[in-house]
Amino acid sequence: MQLQQLAYFVAVAETRHFTQAAERMRVAQPSLSKQIKALESELGAPLFSRARGNVTLTPAGEALLPLARRMLADADTARQEVAELAGLRKGRVRLGATPSLCAGLLADALARFHRAYPGIELLVEEGGSRDLVRALARGQLDLSVIIMPLQSDDPALVTEEVLRENLVVAAPSHERVRRPYLRIEELRGRPMVMFRRGYDLREATLAACRQAGFEPRFAVEGGEMDAVLRFVEAGLGVAVVPSMVLDGRPGLTGIPLAPPGLRRTIALAHRKDVEQTRAAQAFRATLLFFLAEAEHGGELPQGVELIRGVRDSPRPS
């Protein structure tokens, strides 16, 4: 079994089309088909069902796909680790993060890491925590900054909690707020701007409203973070968002929810069954030290606090 054969197999499995897979892999389609047949012969089972032009995975193909993805990811990690023996002058970090974190603290931490290690390539995948956890489990990411709880029962995934953050009600800044807090019940009947399905903040908001005994009224739904904030600025409704995303948005105000309010925990996640590359280790150290410095200097966004233990993070070497 060759890695190239596995790469061809994964390409066909993901495109469900031999010609498109060949184009992706930049190889002639007959050569790709020949390698797939050789792999099937070696494994002793067909991997694809080719009926009336439709390409689907057989049970053997379904079983092989996650293993093939992990083997390819591990081989890529090995190449990166060998390349890093030059002393972190080159390498790569594949980082996943939610949109709210990309727009907040993470940008400054990435800038600091880039200044310290300019030869390290930074690949950032933005998405919801559930999507990022799936990519991490497949070996497509080295590290991911996610929202707890971990939406997976994969025992190979481990988390390290780093921040807690208050969720607030975002409203247009011209809206008068007569009290320091809102109760979640006061959102009953108010037009709300809601995130797309599968978004962690959507699930948290729906759960809080339902616990208070009502279904929220949507003025518009389906957006990512930036779109939701713009819709609120335009006066379409209010939204429950992390406090940090309101920094630098003078058109919005954040109204805290009455204690105990809503909070979320932010964590770093990685696979424990694969040794982290030196570049990934260096990024983790840089991020934790950056957060500890920000807290010490009073520079964490309002409503964000460092979890005990992260404060003592050593300076990256």
Model confidence pLDDT, tens digit, residues 56-81: 999 999 999 999 998 998 888 777 76
What residues contact residue 48 under an 8 Å CB cut-off, 6+ apart? 12, 13, 36, 55, 56, 57, 58, 61
Mean of pLDDT values over 221-232: 90
pLDDT band at 149; cut points 50, 70, 90: confident
Determine the pLDDT at residue 317: 64
Determine the pLDDT at residue 206: 93
Model confidence pLDDT, tens digit, residues 97-115: 988 888 777 888 999 999 9
Residue with tokens 């009926």: 51
pLDDT band at 175; cut points 50, 70, 90: confident
Mean of pLDDT values over 240-267: 88
| Mean residue pLDDT across the chain | 88
CB 284 within 8 Å of CB 196:
no
* Cα–Cα distance measured from residue 228 to residue 240, given in angstroms and rounded to the nearest whole number: 10
DSSP string covering 47-78? -EEEETTEEEE-HHHHHHHHHHHHHHHHHHHH
Determine the pLDDT at residue 169: 94
Long-range CB pairs of 41-50, under 8 A, 24+ apart, other chains included? 42/1, 43/1, 47/9, 48/12, 48/13
Which among 89, 99, 143 is positioned nearest to 288, based on CA atoms? 143
- Predicted TM-score (pTM) of this structure: 0.69
Taking the CA of residue 178 as centre, how many other CA atoms within 13 Å lie in the half-sphere pointing to its CB?
0
Q: Which of 1-10, 11-20, 177-186, 228-237 is predicted with the least confidence, judged by mean pLDDT?
A: 177-186
Please confirm whether the linkage preceding 316 is cis (ω < 30° from 0): no
Q: What share of the chain is helix, strand, coil (3-state, %, to 5)?
A: 45, 25, 30
Q: In 10 A of CB 258, how many CB atoms?
A: 13
Length in residues, the chain:
317
| pLDDT > 70? residue 255 | yes
Taking the CA of residue 242 as centre, how many other CA atoms within 13 Å lie in the half-sphere pointing to its CB?
26
* Nearest-10 Cα torsion for 195, 164, 151, 227: 20
Supply 147's token pair. 């929202």
Sign of CA dihedral 125, 131, 135, 136: positive
pLDDT band at 200; cut points 50, 70, 90: confident
Sign of CA dihedral 272, 278, 280, 283: positive
Model confidence pLDDT, tens digit, residues 10-29: 999 999 999 999 999 988 99
Mean of pLDDT values over 259-277: 87
pLDDT band at 310; cut points 50, 70, 90: confident
